Amino acid sequence: MKFIIATIKPFKLEEVREALTAIGVRGMMVSEVKGFGAQSGHTEIYRGAEYAVNFVPKVKLEIAVTDSMSEQVVSTIAQTAQTDKIGDGKIFVLDLESALRVRTGETNEDAL
Ligand SMILES: Nc1ncnc2c1ncn2[C@@H]1O[C@H](COP(=O)(O)OP(=O)(O)O)[C@@H](O)[C@H]1O
Ligand SMILES: [Mg+2]
């Protein structure tokens, strides 16, 4: 299993969620975060406002997936979240050691 952590522009959340649901993703975590990337000292437009500060609002997605779905999930997020402007975000893929569905006791892929 893989654990995918992605940051996207907040206005892209609904479109990304729909695209992921369409390819069979059944659960995810979503949080509002702030961050910066390579342009940390520069400005980035967010909803028309210029942030001359280091931290820009982003949405973080965390998704546990089977190995076989991992690449498709990454490419779907990448295609859907892309605006071609700076700050489109990043996607990290980690090995996931185990998963447990608390209600049933199912483990690993059965728990996703
Ligand atoms: N090296 C990193 N480690 C962790 N999170 C990062 C990293 N780089 C970027 N991020 C996260 O991704 C968001 C978007 O980064 P982005 O501006 O698209 O990257 P870059 O400017 O490097 O191309 C940042 O606001 C931050 O939340
Ligand atoms: Mg950037």
> CATH no. for residue 46?
3.30.70.120
Q: Largest alpha-carbon pair distance within the chain?
A: 49
Is the whole model's pTM more than 0.85, yes or no?
A: yes
Contact between 25 and 109 (Cβ < 8 Å): no
CA torsion 95-97-102-106 (nearest 10°) is 100
C-alpha–C-alpha distance, residues 1 and 94, integer Å? 9
Number of domains in the chain: 1
Q: Which domain, by its residues, includes 84?
A: 2-111
Ligand 1: nearest atom to the Cα of 55: 25
Per-residue confidence (pLDDT) for residue 41, from 0 to 100: 47
Ligand 1 atom 13 nearest Cα: 89
Per-residue confidence (pLDDT) for residue 48, from 0 to 100: 63
Residue stretches of the chain with pLDDT short of 50: 41
Residues having C-beta closer than 5 Å to ion ligand 2: 37-39, 86-87
Residues 52-75 pLDDT 10s: 567 889 999 999 999 999 999 999
Ligand 1 atom 2 nearest Cα: 37
The three state secondary structure string of 3-71 is EEEEEECHHHHHHHHHHHHHCCCCCCEEEEEEECCCCCCCCEEECCEEECCCCEEEEEEEEEECHHHHH
If one residue of 4, 30, 34, 36 were mutated to test the ligand 1 pocket, choosing by the most ligand atoms within 8 A of its CB, it would be 36
Per-residue confidence (pLDDT) for residue 36, from 0 to 100: 87
Ligand 1 atom 14 nearest Cα: 89
Per-residue confidence (pLDDT) for residue 91, from 0 to 100: 98
